[in-house]
Structure 1
């Protein structure tokens, strides 16, 4: 009898949502009954997308509205208060471990053998969920939020010291709630993020800690667009030096936007910067041409952008195991990154990319110049082979299945 694994993620989009759905699909392909819950997208254990009544808006009666207004619950008051103050927080994102959703009562939670949590900010109510769900829990880390309070990365903690009360209070709430977990495991896609998590004792009840990389579909060579055809599609010339930069919002500080911009503004060699994401980057340098593709959902078009580029620029200041790095490798595209986070564990200089030893724009500029002096030495087939070896969905699924069985037995 196949085990039933339920994945919970706040949304089905963004880096964590995409990674969680890839794992869900990998498990289905390996014969595991897998289901998925998010605010706007639910898949049941029969692999059917369903209309989830849990999240349907139900118009309250006048009496109910009056009661809520006059006698709000502690959770509701906390959410309201946080909603008012969070506009003053300078950060990429903040979230609460408090929610009005009663996910512990969800039919798929009741049906599951194992609960696999992913990015659950503003979705799971920690106190009620962990107190009332006694099933094995696997917590897959996608950023630092599970072992912080309201913030998701150190960079935002350090620049918002005025909100340390909220950070500490929500951390303590999480810590107390997680004490109810008697059979749990922590999974991190990178050793870096696992090491960061284990620096604090919030997961002391979770007896298993392991690294399992996220997966990426490796298509056969014949299914990929050629570099030549991809460049034609994007109006690029065959001989152009093309850098690809991708971010949900292009000007996110943690993604290294400032360092990348300064580096490109000081380069004196012709370069085309191809960007995917919300917003537009302005580079004040006549040597650098910026071609913005905007926000793209079409996976084939995104793949073509990787193929058209000579290199993916991934100058994150903090990052776990970015999907963009995996996607670049899967398309045979090398990656330039600072020597931080999960990138260090997979980028080998002059083999599948280049690591920048110092986190500053000058070092990044010099690495970009060095890359284009040696760009013909990178073998796209070798890079794709590495992706297949390290990030295959078959390997990921087998490691998770082994972990699930260990918890159940």
Structure 2
């Protein structure tokens, strides 16, 4: 049975929508059962579903974007860039979406750009209660802000709490950004099955530093690109097809709202090109806009919106250089498309573009927002001799094939989905335990052989669990790995038997699912399970035998029970589970620190290296004689 992934995106068009479609298509080719569910369907991609079906549903669908922005009427002087309020009633809950998702029964929900009334924070909280692991790709900053999609330069709201938003120009500090931030905050803190994907290292780091998403697991996987569709096309033929017959150097610039949205950098491009020498030898091609203020002395063609891949491929291939002067890009899709077509890119050395462009290897990274350096970058590319330009173009293509080729990226996403599921669909029960909203405690026990090997202490664990108060048993579940069984409970506690867990990622999930890990072994040298659990920040309850005392400090990072004393083992379990949230957080931090400070692999490796060197030098006996 293949993995079923459900992508949620407001649209299958636009920058984020196209990126979502590309990943969806790549996953289908990679054998994943991928489905794309959208509010606005414009394309005909396979397994793409429009949410609205009936006439009434389609009317509501058209109203949702307008309802979502209704609160902005209070701010007539706001900045013209996009701003998305997120309040519980604007628009109302998307109950049709929840019903559709329940019917589709996905293993993973992958969120993309979900604004324009498609999914608000209340819907997201309701989605989380389905118990399905969720991944959210950040196509812009909106998920961790009070409404803006690009954070203003001097704004600190994302790290503390939004109000008095510089984009709204409100007269009072407690504006819509404040209430949007609070609405998201209240919802997010109740969501425990959400992982964030930063499409670039920059936006992943921004999410880590934000107040809204800083406590969520964050990974970094890019957008894919089909390098068979986006591939070099003969430059003379591309120009012939576009009817560009004049022998000029061609410069490309393009984005949705290319000349009307300030953050796309058209003003910076104009400033850079305005001071270029030999303007008569240049031709500027602009796509994503039908008009704009032209640059004196430079012939300019406005191509309007290019919706198909072939038109974009022709434009990239026809040009000598692509300029991407954006203020902020979560990834930089036009840059990767251009490079895939063998056309070098000049951009500012900022945000997600740094993941795509390597300075003077496949393009040029100008100092952030320095238009003089942007001009120098354009001049540098256009001034290269034919051999050096050919090398730059080859590097451009190779860099995208190496890092962003669709089948490779699809495999990386598939692995990420499987990790979210706890190592694959076989461990979906573990994922549900890990990602559920915890109104109960989870304790863990794991050992090769489980109850078959007496010294592993399974019978002592059973005795200890039977001694716990009935009220605590009712609030507790136990996961057992290292053995399989059909029994549904142990000493009155609901049990989940996961069998053998072979990979580190799945073990990591198992330890993290637990509030406490129990090691009732009667004989241990240096327990891997104790070390692994502590490293994951999960306190351990164990007997004070063998090497356990080398790793556990009583009531500092766990609990050391008297040897073979099941009653004291029960007291240890009850003590850990009974801690208040602050005391437990301290215990968990101590657990993690006790391993990283003493048993980190590089520290242990260094000790072994020193021992090897000592042995090579004659060993301890020779040292004694000296």
Name the counterpart of 1:115: 109
Name the counterpart of 1:225: 233
Q: Of the two, which has the highest radius of gyration?
A: 2
Name the counterpart of 1:273: 284
Shift of 1:188: 1.2
TM-score in terms of structure 1 length:
0.87
CA distance in 1, matches of 2:384, 2:212: 46
CA distance 1:330–1:86, shift in 2 (3 Å): farther
Decide which of 87, 93, 98 is 2:82's aligned counterpart. 93
| Equivalent residue runs for 1:2-401 within 5 Å | 2-41=2-41, 47-50=46-49, 52-53=51-52, 56-57=55-56, 79=68, 81-85=70-74, 88-98=77-87, 99-100=91-92, 101-102=94-95, 104-110=97-103, 111-121=105-115, 122-131=117-126, 132-155=129-152, 159-160=166-167, 162-163=169-170, 165-204=175-214, 206=216, 208-219=217-228, 224-237=232-245, 239-251=247-259, 252-269=261-278, 270-286=281-297, 288-374=298-384, 376=386, 377-378=388-389, 379=391, 380-401=393-414
CA distance in 1, matches of 2:180, 2:74: 15
Q: Counterpart of 1:293 in 2: which secondary structure?
A: strand
CA distance 1:59–1:314, shift in 2 (3 Å): closer
Q: Is the 8 A contact 2:282 2:299 kept in 1?
A: yes
Structure 2 unaligned regions, length at least 5: 156-164, 423-626
Q: Is the 8 A contact 2:249 2:382 kept in 1?
A: yes
Shift of 1:224: 4.9
Q: Is the 8 A contact 1:263 1:361 kept in 2?
A: yes
CA distance in 2, matches of 1:368, 1:265: 12
Q: Counterpart of 2:254 in 1: which secondary structure?
A: strand
Shift of 1:5: 0.9
Shift of 1:375: 6.0
Q: Counterpart of 1:324 in 2: which secondary structure?
A: helix
CA distance 1:190–1:134, shift in 2 (3 Å): same
> Which one is further off, 79-88 or 10-19?
79-88
Q: Counterpart of 2:304 in 1: which secondary structure?
A: coil
Question: RMSD of the TM alignment (CA)?
Answer: 2.8
The CA deviation string for residues 232-286 of structure 1, in whole angstroms up to 9 with x for no partner, is: 1223247411100001112211011111112212222221101111232333422
Report 1 or 2 for greater relative contact order, CA contacts < 8 Å, sequence distance ≥ 6.
1
Shift of 1:104: 4.9
CA distance 1:352–1:407, shift in 2 (3 Å): same
CA distance 1:152–1:242, shift in 2 (3 Å): same
The CA deviation string for residues 197-252 of structure 1, in whole angstroms up to 9 with x for no partner, is: 1112312553x31111111011189x753101111122324741110000111221
CA distance 1:203–1:103, shift in 2 (3 Å): farther
CA distance in 1, matches of 2:238, 2:84: 39
TM-score in terms of structure 2 length:
0.58
Q: Is the 8 A contact 2:36 2:48 kept in 1?
A: no
Name the counterpart of 2:552: none
Q: Is the 8 A contact 2:286 2:303 kept in 1?
A: yes
CA distance 1:322–1:57, shift in 2 (3 Å): farther
Q: Counterpart of 2:397 in 1: which secondary structure?
A: helix
CA distance in 1, matches of 2:412, 2:112: 16
CA distance 1:3–1:237, shift in 2 (3 Å): same
> Which one is further off, 272-281 or 156-165?
156-165
CA distance in 1, matches of 2:40, 2:368: 41
